[in-house]
Structure 1
Protein backbone atom coordinates (compact mmCIF):
# COMPACT_ATOMS: atom_id res chain seq x y z
CA UNK A 1 0.00 0.00 0.00
CA UNK A 2 1.40 3.37 -1.03
CA UNK A 3 0.54 5.92 1.65
CA UNK A 4 2.05 9.38 1.61
CA UNK A 5 2.69 11.44 4.72
CA UNK A 6 1.32 14.57 3.04
CA UNK A 7 -1.93 14.41 1.07
CA UNK A 8 -1.95 16.07 -2.31
CA UNK A 9 -3.52 19.51 -2.11
CA UNK A 10 -7.04 19.44 -3.46
CA UNK A 11 -9.95 21.78 -3.96
CA UNK A 12 -11.95 19.55 -1.61
CA UNK A 13 -9.45 19.97 1.26
CA UNK A 14 -9.23 23.71 0.57
CA UNK A 15 -13.02 23.99 0.61
CA UNK A 16 -13.26 21.98 3.86
CA UNK A 17 -10.60 24.12 5.56
CA UNK A 18 -12.40 27.29 4.47
CA UNK A 19 -15.85 26.04 5.50
CA UNK A 20 -14.62 25.05 8.97
CA UNK A 21 -13.27 28.54 9.72
CA UNK A 22 -14.41 30.95 6.99
CA UNK A 23 -13.57 34.23 8.73
CA UNK A 24 -10.13 33.04 9.74
CA UNK A 25 -9.46 31.63 6.27
CA UNK A 26 -10.44 34.94 4.68
CA UNK A 27 -8.28 36.89 7.13
CA UNK A 28 -5.31 34.62 6.46
CA UNK A 29 -5.72 35.00 2.68
CA UNK A 30 -5.89 38.79 3.00
CA UNK A 31 -2.80 38.75 5.24
CA UNK A 32 -0.92 36.50 2.81
CA UNK A 33 -1.90 38.65 -0.19
CA UNK A 34 -0.69 41.74 1.67
CA UNK A 35 2.60 40.18 2.73
CA UNK A 36 3.50 38.96 -0.76
CA UNK A 37 2.46 42.16 -2.58
CA UNK A 38 5.19 44.34 -4.07
CA UNK A 39 6.49 46.83 -1.54
CA UNK A 40 10.00 47.76 -0.46
CA UNK A 41 10.78 44.20 -1.56
CA UNK A 42 9.44 42.85 -4.82
CA UNK A 43 6.98 39.98 -4.76
CA UNK A 44 9.63 37.87 -6.48
CA UNK A 45 12.14 38.61 -3.70
CA UNK A 46 9.51 37.80 -1.07
CA UNK A 47 8.82 34.46 -2.75
CA UNK A 48 12.55 33.70 -2.84
CA UNK A 49 12.70 34.45 0.90
CA UNK A 50 9.69 32.17 1.37
CA UNK A 51 11.44 29.40 -0.61
CA UNK A 52 14.40 29.65 1.77
CA UNK A 53 12.23 29.71 4.89
CA UNK A 54 10.15 26.80 3.61
CA UNK A 55 13.30 24.72 3.27
CA UNK A 56 14.22 25.53 6.88
CA UNK A 57 10.71 24.75 8.16
CA UNK A 58 10.59 21.80 5.72
CA UNK A 59 7.05 22.45 4.55
CA UNK A 60 6.59 20.61 1.24
CA UNK A 61 3.48 22.61 0.34
CA UNK A 62 5.30 25.92 0.88
CA UNK A 63 8.38 24.71 -1.02
CA UNK A 64 6.28 23.84 -4.05
CA UNK A 65 3.94 26.81 -3.85
CA UNK A 66 6.56 29.50 -3.33
CA UNK A 67 8.98 27.96 -5.83
CA UNK A 68 6.23 28.05 -8.47
CA UNK A 69 5.23 31.58 -7.49
CA UNK A 70 8.84 32.81 -7.58
CA UNK A 71 9.35 31.31 -11.05
CA UNK A 72 6.06 32.83 -12.28
CA UNK A 73 7.35 36.20 -11.00
CA UNK A 74 10.55 35.82 -13.01
CA UNK A 75 12.95 34.02 -10.65
CA UNK A 76 15.52 31.90 -12.40
CA UNK A 77 16.43 28.38 -11.36
CA UNK A 78 19.79 29.77 -10.20
CA UNK A 79 18.06 32.33 -7.96
CA UNK A 80 15.84 29.65 -6.42
CA UNK A 81 18.84 27.40 -5.79
CA UNK A 82 20.84 30.25 -4.23
CA UNK A 83 17.90 30.94 -1.89
CA UNK A 84 17.94 27.27 -0.90
CA UNK A 85 21.68 27.44 -0.23
CA UNK A 86 21.12 30.49 1.98
CA UNK A 87 18.60 28.42 3.94
CA UNK A 88 21.07 25.54 4.25
CA UNK A 89 23.80 27.86 5.52
CA UNK A 90 21.48 29.50 8.04
CA UNK A 91 20.29 26.11 9.31
CA UNK A 92 23.86 24.84 9.62
CA UNK A 93 24.97 28.17 11.08
CA UNK A 94 22.39 27.84 13.83
CA UNK A 95 23.83 24.47 14.87
CA UNK A 96 27.36 25.88 14.76
CA UNK A 97 26.43 28.97 16.78
CA UNK A 98 24.57 26.90 19.38
CA UNK A 99 27.71 24.80 19.91
CA UNK A 100 28.64 27.60 22.35
CA UNK A 101 26.08 26.08 24.74
CA UNK A 102 27.74 22.67 24.64
CA UNK A 103 31.23 24.18 24.95
CA UNK A 104 30.15 26.38 27.88
CA UNK A 105 28.54 23.39 29.63
CA UNK A 106 31.66 21.27 29.21
CA UNK A 107 33.89 24.13 30.40
CA UNK A 108 31.71 24.62 33.50
CA UNK A 109 31.80 20.89 34.25
CA UNK A 110 35.57 20.79 33.87
CA UNK A 111 35.94 23.81 36.17
CA UNK A 112 33.68 22.17 38.78
CA UNK A 113 35.71 18.96 38.56
CA UNK A 114 38.99 20.90 39.03
CA UNK A 115 37.56 22.74 42.05
CA UNK A 116 36.57 19.41 43.68
CA UNK A 117 40.06 18.02 43.11
CA UNK A 118 41.73 20.89 44.99
Structure 2
Protein backbone atom coordinates (compact mmCIF):
# COMPACT_ATOMS: atom_id res chain seq x y z
CA UNK A 1 0.00 0.00 0.00
CA UNK A 2 2.96 2.30 0.53
CA UNK A 3 3.68 1.83 -3.18
CA UNK A 4 0.19 3.16 -3.94
CA UNK A 5 0.96 6.28 -1.88
CA UNK A 6 4.25 6.69 -3.71
CA UNK A 7 2.38 6.47 -7.02
CA UNK A 8 -0.02 9.16 -5.84
CA UNK A 9 2.95 11.39 -5.01
CA UNK A 10 4.49 10.78 -8.42
CA UNK A 11 1.18 11.56 -10.14
CA UNK A 12 0.80 14.81 -8.20
CA UNK A 13 4.34 15.89 -9.09
CA UNK A 14 3.71 15.17 -12.77
CA UNK A 15 0.46 17.12 -12.69
CA UNK A 16 2.07 20.02 -10.81
CA UNK A 17 4.54 20.28 -13.68
CA UNK A 18 1.99 19.93 -16.47
CA UNK A 19 -1.28 21.26 -15.06
CA UNK A 20 -0.31 23.32 -12.00
CA UNK A 21 -3.46 25.44 -11.73
CA UNK A 22 -5.82 22.51 -12.10
CA UNK A 23 -4.08 20.25 -9.59
CA UNK A 24 -3.61 23.07 -7.08
CA UNK A 25 -7.31 23.87 -7.28
CA UNK A 26 -8.12 20.22 -6.58
CA UNK A 27 -5.63 20.01 -3.70
CA UNK A 28 -7.03 23.21 -2.15
CA UNK A 29 -10.53 21.74 -2.35
CA UNK A 30 -9.34 18.43 -0.89
CA UNK A 31 -7.69 20.20 2.05
CA UNK A 32 -10.76 22.34 2.73
CA UNK A 33 -13.25 19.50 2.36
CA UNK A 34 -11.38 17.24 4.79
CA UNK A 35 -11.13 19.78 7.64
CA UNK A 36 -13.15 19.48 10.82
CA UNK A 37 -16.55 21.08 10.43
CA UNK A 38 -20.03 19.73 11.11
CA UNK A 39 -18.44 16.28 10.60
CA UNK A 40 -15.09 15.62 12.24
CA UNK A 41 -12.03 15.05 10.06
CA UNK A 42 -11.81 11.48 11.39
CA UNK A 43 -15.41 10.73 10.44
CA UNK A 44 -14.86 12.30 7.03
CA UNK A 45 -11.93 9.94 6.49
CA UNK A 46 -14.12 6.99 7.49
CA UNK A 47 -16.68 8.13 4.93
CA UNK A 48 -13.87 8.42 2.39
CA UNK A 49 -12.74 4.88 3.22
CA UNK A 50 -16.25 3.61 2.48
CA UNK A 51 -16.41 5.56 -0.76
CA UNK A 52 -12.95 4.31 -1.77
CA UNK A 53 -14.01 0.69 -1.26
CA UNK A 54 -17.26 1.26 -3.18
CA UNK A 55 -15.35 2.98 -5.99
CA UNK A 56 -12.86 0.10 -6.03
CA UNK A 57 -9.88 2.46 -5.93
CA UNK A 58 -6.83 0.91 -4.25
CA UNK A 59 -4.97 4.25 -4.27
CA UNK A 60 -7.90 5.92 -2.51
CA UNK A 61 -8.12 3.05 -0.02
CA UNK A 62 -4.43 3.47 0.84
CA UNK A 63 -4.64 7.27 1.09
CA UNK A 64 -7.79 7.45 3.21
CA UNK A 65 -7.00 4.46 5.43
CA UNK A 66 -3.64 5.99 6.34
CA UNK A 67 -5.32 9.34 7.05
CA UNK A 68 -8.05 7.67 9.15
CA UNK A 69 -5.46 5.83 11.24
CA UNK A 70 -3.46 9.05 11.73
CA UNK A 71 -6.64 10.72 12.96
CA UNK A 72 -7.21 7.97 15.53
CA UNK A 73 -9.62 5.63 13.75
CA UNK A 74 -9.49 2.07 15.02
CA UNK A 75 -9.34 -1.06 12.90
CA UNK A 76 -12.98 -1.79 13.83
CA UNK A 77 -14.11 1.68 12.77
CA UNK A 78 -12.32 1.36 9.44
CA UNK A 79 -13.73 -2.11 8.80
CA UNK A 80 -17.23 -0.86 9.70
CA UNK A 81 -16.80 1.89 7.12
CA UNK A 82 -15.69 -0.70 4.57
CA UNK A 83 -18.74 -2.82 5.30
CA UNK A 84 -21.02 0.15 4.63
CA UNK A 85 -19.59 0.11 1.11
CA UNK A 86 -20.24 -3.63 0.87
CA UNK A 87 -23.82 -3.07 2.04
CA UNK A 88 -24.42 -0.47 -0.65
CA UNK A 89 -22.21 -1.87 -3.43
CA UNK A 90 -22.32 -5.64 -2.91
CA UNK A 91 -19.85 -8.39 -3.76
CA UNK A 92 -17.38 -6.34 -5.79
CA UNK A 93 -16.91 -3.99 -2.82
CA UNK A 94 -16.43 -7.02 -0.58
CA UNK A 95 -13.37 -7.98 -2.63
CA UNK A 96 -11.91 -4.53 -2.02
CA UNK A 97 -11.88 -5.32 1.67
CA UNK A 98 -8.64 -7.18 0.76
CA UNK A 99 -6.64 -4.01 0.02
CA UNK A 100 -8.45 -2.30 2.91
CA UNK A 101 -7.16 -4.94 5.34
CA UNK A 102 -3.71 -4.67 3.75
CA UNK A 103 -3.74 -0.90 4.28
CA UNK A 104 -4.85 -1.22 7.91
CA UNK A 105 -2.08 -3.71 8.63
CA UNK A 106 0.60 -1.71 6.84
CA UNK A 107 -0.25 1.71 8.22
CA UNK A 108 -1.07 0.53 11.75
CA UNK A 109 2.46 -0.84 12.08
CA UNK A 110 4.13 2.46 11.21
CA UNK A 111 3.92 3.66 14.79
Q: Structure 1-normalised TM-score?
A: 0.68
- 5+ residue gaps, structure 1: 1-5, 93-118
Q: 1:1-118 residue pairs with structure 2 within 5 A?
A: 9=7, 11-92=9-90
The number of residues matched between the two structures is 87
Q: What per-residue deviation string (whole Å, max 9, x for no partner) do you get for residues 43-94 of structure 1?
A: 00000000000001011110000000000000000000000011100113xx
Task: Point out 4+ residue stretches in structure 1 off by more than 3 angstroms.
Answer: 10-13
- Between the aligned partners of 1:10 and 1:27, the Cα distance in structure 2 is 16
Q: Which has the higher contact order (CA 8 A, sep 6+)?
A: 2
Please give the root-mean-square deviation of Cα atoms over the aligned residues, in Å: 1.8
- The alignment partner of 1:61 has SS state of helix
TM-score of the pair, normalised by structure 2:
0.72
| Alpha-carbon separation, structure 1, partners of 2:9 and 2:57 | 19
